[in-house]
């Protein structure tokens, strides 16, 4: 096992709104993949990396109190974090140094009510 995390899903209630939010904040294009009654928005499809998706469908309930997933903030999470509020989210914890050369983290609330983190080394 090379990673503790293999796959993650971010539950959404309004797929179009969530897709727009994450595309704006992360600066990526999300590919929509209908899977029966569920709609998935692929955040990463690289087979050599940890993958994840936005998920809309029965049982997909956003939460600010569940498991906290940290998204890759690139070389410096500050530019991504700066786009959170403009995209309709809210910064909960600003860019904060972790210490011991572990980089930086921040927390935000997305448009669906999910609490997520960002991590970068710079």
Q: How far apart are CA 18 and CA 41, in angstroms?
A: 9
The yes-or-no verdict on residue 3 having pLDDT over 80 is: no
Query: To which H or E segment does residue 115 belong?
Result: strand 115-120
Q: Is residue 1 part of a domain?
A: no
pLDDT of 44: 81
| pLDDT tens profile 38-75 | 999 999 877 788 889 999 999 999 999 989 999 999 99
* Residue 114 is assigned to a structural domain of this protein: yes
More confident position, 101 or 3: 101
DSSP helix/strand/coil, 23: helix
Nearest-angstrom CA–CA distance, 41 and 72 = 17
pTM of the model: 0.90
Residue identified by tokens 């929509």 is 32
Give 65-117 pLDDT, tens digit per residue: 989 999 999 999 999 999 999 999 999 999 999 999 999 999 999 999 999 99
pLDDT at residue 6, rounded to an integer: 82
Domain that holds residue 51: 8-120
Residue 104 CA from chain centroid, whole number: 16
- The domain total for the chain is 1
State the pLDDT confidence band at 2, using cuts at 50, 70 and 90: low
Q: Do the beta carbons of residue 68 and residue 119 sit within 8 Å? A: no
pLDDT at 35: 92
- First vs last Cα of the chain: how many Å apart? 27
CATH number of the domain at 40, please. Answer: 3.10.180.10
Nearest CA to 62 out of 17, 4, 23, 95 is that of: 17
Residue 2 lies in a domain: no
């Amino acid at each position: 096992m090379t990673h503790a995390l293999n796959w993650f899903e971010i539950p959404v209630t309004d797929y179009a709104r969530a897709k727009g939010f994450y595309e704006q904040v992360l600066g990526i294009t999300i590919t929509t993949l209908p899977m029966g009654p569920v709609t998935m928005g692929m955040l990463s499809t690289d087979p050599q990396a940890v993958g994840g998706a936005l998920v809309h469908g029965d049982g997909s309930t956003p939460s600010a109190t569940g498991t906290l997933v940290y998204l890759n903030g690139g070389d410096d999470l500050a530019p991504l974090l700066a786009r959170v509020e403009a995209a309709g989210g809210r910064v909960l914890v600003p860019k904060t140094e972790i210490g011991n050369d572990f980089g930086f983290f921040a927390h935000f609330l997305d448009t669906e009510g999910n609490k997520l983190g960002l991590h970068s080394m710079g």
